[in-house]
Amino acid sequence: MRVLVTDDDENIRFAVETSLRGAGFAVDVASDLPEADEALFVNTYDCVIFDRILPSGDALHYVKQRRRDGCGASVLFLTGIDNPVEGLPYGDDYLVKPFAMPELIARVRSLCRLTALTAPLVLRHADVELDLGRRTATRAGRALSLTVKEFTVLERLVAAGGRPVRREDLIAAAWDAEVRPVSNVLDVVITALRQKLGPPALVQTVRGFGYRCG
């Protein structure tokens, strides 16, 4: 699950980022709305956390506009007592500062699950089947024991329906912004996936671009 944290307070941003990473989330950060806008353009998030009032504007107005443009990620607002969040659309939530980190983590998990409800529950390609609700994978009826990273990479490949997927997009799906596309982390995961999937070869290399499901 990937989360974007947007807050101009460096201490709060760092605390939220560290806590979410410790809870197993992939986390990107932004200090203002323009940075958040760029991140949302490039990446897909399960949940986005916004400080309600930012130097660059009111995050609530920004989110309303992004929703009209089709953004489907759930949103958690961090707000002060003087800036209540009213009339939130279904699926959004807010926390009043100061807040307890365990509560924030619990709410983010809940919002990520709501985002996932809008996606297909089962993906199939050839003889591979992924159950996104249970996070299970099978090939020709044989259960596959996949790590979180392996499942996420395979999910993106299967969802592409045989079309090539760029290395950068696979890394963005499974890792946060601290992992750069030049790293070999994706190659390690692809090697493990091929071993676990077994013959015939399913994950194919598209030289100079990325990978695809054959």
Question: Burial, 24: exposed, middle or buried (Cβ in 10 Å; 0-12, 13-18, 19+)?
Answer: exposed
- The winner for highest mean pLDDT among 58-67, 73-82, 98-107, 110-119 is 98-107
Q: What average pLDDT score do residues 183-203 get?
A: 93
CA separation for the pair 188, 40 (Å, rounded) = 27
CA separation for the pair 45, 103 (Å, rounded) = 20
Q: Apex CA 29: angle with CA 24 and CA 34, to 5°?
A: 150
Instruction: Find out whether 48 and 74 touch, Cβ atoms under 8 Å.
Output: yes
Confidence band, pLDDT 50/70/90 cuts, at residue 91? low
Q: Apex CA 90: angle with CA 85 and CA 96, to 5°?
A: 30
Whether a cis peptide bond, with omega within 30° of 0, leads into 98 is yes
Q: In what order do the strands lie in the sheet with 128-131?
A: 122-125, 128-131, 136-139, 142-144
Confidence band, pLDDT 50/70/90 cuts, at residue 119? low
- In order of their start, the domains of the chain are 2-116 (3.40.50.2300), 122-213 (1.10.10.10)
User: What is the reported pTM?
Assistant: 0.59
Least confident interval from 16-25, 66-75, 85-94: 85-94
